Structures are given as structure tokens and as C-alpha cells.
Structure 1
Amino acid sequence: MTVLLIALGAALGAPLRYLTDRAVQARDDSPFPWGTLTVNVAGSLLLGAVAAVPASPAVTALVGTGFCGALTTWSTLSYETLRLHREGARGHALANALGSLAAGLTAATVGYALAGAVTG
């Protein structure tokens, strides 16, 4: 049953990642991968919230592992950072790597704090 919940969450998270990335990138001409940053920060915020609430293993599998796991993407972050570096946009590459890490950790912390305050 857990595997099915993870698959269902992923089936929702992956298309949302793609659509969000395309929508954000369509609004910006810069080489910076704003779409990937957006989904990674949003997923980190949600995962932080899920970690803060007393969720059942089923909810954690569906939302945490499945949905957030498919919505966020470390591999794309890595690829886009490497692409920026290879294209000579080293400042963008560094900003992408460090900014994504800082923003993701901050978002997870905020999500955890907000959910804790609401449920607490």
C-alpha cells in the first residue's frame, strides 16, 4: 500500500514540477533556472510542514516521499548548475548552488515552524 501512495504522490508532483518550471521560465529571459528554484523551495516548505505535524505513515509516504520527492529535483539543480558553469555563467552557477541550498533550508525551517505553530 505504501508504494502505491508514493506512486500517487509522485504522479501528482512530477507534472506539477514540469508545469511550474515552464510557467516560471516563460516569464524570465535570464539563464538562471528560476523554475527549478521555485519548485525546490516550495517542496522544501511543504516537506518541512509535513515533518512538523503528527502525520500518519500513509500521509508521509503520499505527501512527503511521493509528492515532494517528485516535485523537487536535486538532479535538475545539479545539471543546471553544471550547464551554467560550462556556459561561462559562473556567478549564476554559484548563486544557483548556494542560493538553492540556503533557500531550501530556510523554506523547510519556515514550513516546520508554521505547521508547528498551527498544530501546536
Structure 2
Amino acid sequence: MTRRPDPAPTLPVDPDSVPRESGPLHVRPSAIAAVAAGGLLGAPLRYGLGVAFPTSAGQFPWTTFAINIAGALLLGCLLEALTRLGDDAGWRRRLRLCLGTGVLGSFTTYSTLAVDTDLLVRDHHLGSAALYAVASVIAGLLATTAGIAVGAQVRTRRVEVSR
């Protein structure tokens, strides 16, 4: 049997698609543990902020808004910095899973964004609901962009220091 040449030899190989003894990343015990450990930090932090800064019925949900925007900023920074430091392997992958997926994934909350928007609509605060939903998406995109810009400085500073 003759092997055909790769039609796109310059494309990178998705490391999660390469068969390994331990299986795909999402079922590996070490990956699950990293995400779970991070989740044990992020979810209680979000809950604590919600308790410390509650939102009254019909009010703009500032706490959830701030949590989601801060999470978008930090996730953009983290993922860009890790990408610039090297391949998604070893300690970089563990850090991405623990901090990115675990801590920040459980800290940010799309479901509460959806529920808060729905509650504003049900309470007939249509303008606040629309403002909250649209502002969350736009501010999240801007925060992510700012985080990426900050994360992009990681390699630049590292190279400048080594000279």
C-alpha cells in the first residue's frame, strides 16, 4: 500500500488529535484534575463576590458584569502569554487547564449573564436588559483584546532582559 503525500504539509498538527496511550486530553485524569483544582478556586471566588456585592431585583448586575469582564481580560492575557512561551505541552498545558479552564472558566459565568438578562426582561427593564447583554459582549471583547495585548509583552520582555 502506497502512502499518499500530505496535501497540506505546512499545517500544524493538532496535539489532541494524535493518538496517545492515555487517550484524548479531555479524558486524561491529569487534565481533569488540573481543571477541577482550578474550579475549586474560581467558583467560590465568584460566589463570594456575588454574596459580598449582591444585585437587587431590577438593578444592573454590576457584580456579574465585572466578574465576566475581569475574566475575559485575564484569559486573553494568560492564553496569549502561554502561546508566546511555547507549545501547549508540559507545564504550559497544565497551567492553561488549571488557570484558564479551571479558575477562569468557573470564575466567569455566562449562565448568570443569561439569567440576569432574563430577570431584567421579566421585570420589564428591557432597556437595562439590552444594555447589559450588549455591553457584556462588547466589553468582554475589548477586555480580551487588552489582555492579549498585555500577554503579547511576555516574550518581548523576556528577550529584552536576556540581551
Q: Same fold (TM over 0.5)?
A: yes
2:125 corresponds to: 89
TM-score (normalizing by structure 2):
0.68
Cα-to-partner distance string for 1:57-96 (whole Å, 9 max, x where unaligned) = 1010001100111000001100100100110111110011
Amino acid at match of 1:44: A
Q: Percent identity?
A: 38
1:7 corresponds to: 36
Pairwise CA RMSD: 1.7
1:117 corresponds to: 153
**5+ residue gaps in structure 1?**
none
**5+ residue gaps in structure 2?**
1-29, 84-91, 157-163
Flag the structure with larger Rg: 2
Cα displacement (A) at 1:18? 1.0
Provide the C-alpha distance between the structure 2 equivalents of 1:44 and 1:66, rounded to a whole number of angstroms.
14
Count of residues in Structure 1 that have an aligned counterpart in Structure 2: 119
Cα-to-partner distance string for 1:20-67 (whole Å, 9 max, x where unaligned) = 2233337x8971111100110111011001111126110100011001
Conserved 8 A contact 2:67-2:107: yes
Conserved 8 A contact 1:39-1:71: yes
Runs of 4+ in 1 over 4 A off after TM superposition: none
* Greater percentage in helix: 1
